[in-house]
Structure 1
Amino acid sequence: SIIGSLSGEVAVHDSTTLNLYQGVHIALALRPDRKVLAVAADEFPTDRYVVEGIAHDLGLTVRPLEPGIDLHDVAVVVRSVIDYRTAEICDVKAFTSLATEAGALVLWDLSHTAGAIEFDVHALGVELAVGCTYKFLNGGPGAPAWTYVSENLHSQIQQPIKGWFAQKDQFAMEMPFAPHDDIRRVLLGTPHILSLIAAEEGIALSERVGMKQIAAKGQALTAFAMQVVDHFGLTTSTPRDPQRRGCHIAISHPRAKELVADLATHHKVLADVRPPDIVRLGLSPLTTRFTDVWDGLQRLSHLISG
């Protein structure tokens, strides 16, 4: 219900970085005749690093993801649904369709998407995705990530790291590797149980409330934030159109790093700095109040004005 997947299409495990690594390899095995990977130059760093590392190890080419890119020789594109700086939402359906027509696969990063906005992998044509549970799925620091693989691809998953939790008969220890026929193919080793418990409860909370209600609250919070931004004369690079933004806002200021430190130290407001000049405020719909939005932006405004 969080991303529109079917039962048995998502595995909660490991970290987003590791799952990106697995996901790119899974996609490459599905397109063995193609030797090009694509990722935007301004994509989230770990996504870029993973793509560049795999390309280096396998002797592949990395092509910058830019408007008008030729995808006809690309094996896989790695792309975030929501920009980690500005919260701008890309047109997932249109880009997935464009890539599919060219024969390329897309590995979507839903780290800023799952639990923040309504999303339906099947309606949008998404076959591969990864994400985290520590942001909008309420798992907190150290909570595990997850992998989504469309059911029609399960039997074709070629795991780059073969661990015993992917083995069909896990305790037939003298047997060669023979993986499950389902999403469990992406599993590796023994999971961190305490982290899984936190993730399970966080996800269950989102499911109980429902993504329609959560998304509506998120849009209301960010709409209010935009009004407060204008009230205090702040500058934002987050889209004004509520259908084109996620659940964080970006305030631009040349002293962003200093402002984020002062917000935490003197005002107990936790924000992020995103170089070179963004103060990022995450507005988690389930836990953020409208008064929190006002207080945080008011304190930021006071710091800016001195």
Structure 2
Amino acid sequence: MHKQAMTLISLPESRAEAEALDATDPLALCRDAFALPEGVTYLVGHSLGPATIGALRNLRAASEGAWVNDRVGAWNSAEWIHLSEHVGNRLARLVGAKAGEVVVCDSVSINLFKLAASALPLARTRRLVVEEDEFPTDQYILDGLSGLTGVDLVRVAPGKGVSQLEGGVLVKSLVNYRSSQLADMAADEASAQSGGGMIIWDLSHATGVLDIQLSAANARFAAGCTYKYLNGGPGAPAFVYARADVADQLETPLPGWMGHSAPFEFTSAYAPKTGTARFASGTPPILSLAALNGALDVFDRVSMVEVQSKARALGQMCLMMAEGMGLDIASPLDPTSRGGHVSVCHPDGYPLVRALADWGIEADFRTPHTIRFGLSPLFLGYAEIWDAMSELAEIIETRSWDTEAYREKAIVT
């Protein structure tokens, strides 16, 4: 945790200055793409993005249109059979990949398993590595893979995964889910590859809010979710990336018919598709895919450089105002070293989050005392953040959070 002066990015010092920034914000018009209710400041886009007009439109079209009218024929007439790869190609631009290198399928957990298992034979040593502060499901998946293969799983200190890779396979988040610490993808890849090691990047807390450049960083493998900053909807399918020159060397441990080169020939022998498409396994969730496809429409009219810049400015506002309240800062103070959310700590973080929600300000909590604010630049404004943090200051000052009702924990925090 940090407590020190913050610089970088010209920040508003009053609500009027925040409003002035909103008036010149090139992303301000994007808010119209979201179905957000009035009176809600939604700071949880890093966990579940809100519904978009495009997602709801596509969901209705797929369910009430194609499914009702064409039924099984919609696999052809609505081109459902190609939707995983079509949406993958749209995502490729947002992560700095080439067409054909991204396919949408399954969940992040399953995709990390597939990538880690298929990368192991290509690594110099049979060694699985994960950092101790990595997102829990990433650790569970590697632990399970270790049990199945007999390959040792080595847990190392935060930030030491690359230096202790020793030619093995590392699963690493580009943005840490708790602190928002941003890794140096290009430097880490250069170091790993020089020693014969492999990094599988988890882009879940980065995609849709940062200007990711997989090709430029020479990254070979990645997976990520689509229901956070991409706003694909609850349970939206994840994506897999494999660089074109290595994809055909990979053997997926979960070969399914949707990854087959000719699935409707129904042969007993598996023959994988070329490239990343081989990582598709079972039948895709068409309604979720349709919603995700619609949610991506808003990204067609924005620059990811502008999205990243605004996210960092909003985050800097949050941290500046939080520091003024005496909160402990749990995210990097340098905006270029973090993702799209910021974290602060308070001994009674959970009831604080509950109290904020009653004022229409939705944040989230991570045990034991971390409050996270997700700064989704496409629907949040500067004045909105100013107001939210001002309300937080009042709640802290008046201790209005200090009730038994606010302390009672829900199942999902």
TM-score, normalization by structure 2: 0.70
State the partner residue of 2:148: 57
* Counterpart amino acid of residue 178 in structure 1: A
CA distance in 2, matches of 1:245, 1:71: 23
Q: CA deviation at 1:190?
A: 1.1
* Counterpart amino acid of residue 267 in structure 1: W
Q: CA deviation at 1:204?
A: 3.0
DSSP-derived class of the 2:274 partner: coil
Q: CA deviation at 1:73?
A: 4.4
CA deviations 1:67-104 (Å, max 9, x no partner) are 38432242x10000111111111111111111111111
CA distance in 2, matches of 1:246, 1:73: 28
Q: Which protein has the larger Cα radius of gyration, Structure 1 or Structure 2?
A: 2
Pairwise CA RMSD of aligned residues?
1.6
* Counterpart amino acid of residue 181 in structure 1: T
CA distance in 1, matches of 2:297, 2:254: 29
| Structure 1 residues 129-140: aligned runs within 5 Å | 129-140=222-233
Q: Is the 8 A contact 1:234 1:301 kept in 2?
A: no
CA deviations 1:10-37 (Å, max 9, x no partner) are 0011111111111111211323x63210
CA deviations 1:49-73 (Å, max 9, x no partner) are 1011111121111112333843224
CA distance in 1, matches of 2:201, 2:267: 37
State the partner residue of 2:313: 220
Q: CA deviation at 1:157?
A: 1.8
Q: 1:207 aligns with which of 300, 308, 314?
A: 300
Q: Which moved more, 1:273-282 or 1:215-224?
A: 215-224
DSSP-derived class of the 1:78 partner: strand
* Counterpart amino acid of residue 287 in structure 1: F
CA distance in 1, matches of 2:144, 2:391: 41
Q: Is the 8 A contact 1:222 1:249 kept in 2?
A: yes
* 2:208 aligned with 1:109: no
State the partner residue of 1:269: 361
Q: Which moved more, 1:239-248 or 1:196-205?
A: 196-205
Q: Is the 8 A contact 2:323 2:329 kept in 1?
A: no
State the partner residue of 1:72: 166
State the partner residue of 1:123: 216
State the partner residue of 1:163: 256
CA distance in 2, matches of 1:70, 1:234: 34
Q: Is the 8 A contact 1:93 1:125 kept in 2?
A: yes
State the partner residue of 1:249: 342
Q: CA deviation at 1:145?
A: 0.8
Q: Is the 8 A contact 1:71 1:103 kept in 2?
A: no
Q: Which moved more, 1:22-31 or 1:156-165?
A: 22-31
Would the alpha carbon gap of residues 140 and 288 (structure 1) be closer, same or farther in structure 2, given more than 3 Å must change?
A: farther
How many residues of Structure 1 are paired with residues of Structure 2 in the alignment?
303
* Counterpart amino acid of residue 131 in structure 1: G
DSSP-derived class of the 2:177 partner: coil
Q: 1:183 aligns with which of 255, 262, 276?
A: 276
State the partner residue of 1:12: 104
State the partner residue of 1:279: 371
Q: CA deviation at 1:238?
A: 1.4
State the partner residue of 1:94: 187
CA distance in 1, matches of 2:115, 2:392: 39
Q: 1:82 aligns with which of 168, 175, 200?
A: 175
